Amino acid sequence: MSASTVQDSSDALRKQAKEVVDALSSERLQSAHDFLRWLQQLEDDAEIAMLSGSKQLRDELDRQREAVRTGGGVDWRKVRDDV
């Protein structure tokens, strides 16, 4: 697939997504916005992980696992119990 074909496909998809977004209620629009920001954060986190190197990522995961093992951290069920 050529770069121009990918761009055309991306442009068409953005246009279709915009049409869907334009038809959403305010409440659904907020949910869509939150979801899109979450997706964007995932991409940002993935880029950061790639840039920081796998050794640093493994070290951080090891630190977090140790914190959980020793009773540290916050129970995920108590972070947002209002949703």
Tens-digit pLDDT profile for residues 59-82: 888 888 888 888 877 777 777 766
Angle at 47 between CA 55 and CA 7, to 5 degrees: 150
What is the structure's pLDDT at 83? 62
- How far is it, in rounded angstroms, from Cα 61 to Cα 54? 10
Does residue 47 surpass a pLDDT of 70? yes
* Bigger pLDDT: 3 vs 17: 17
Residue 6 has pLDDT above 80, yes or no: no
How much is the average pLDDT of 8-36? 92
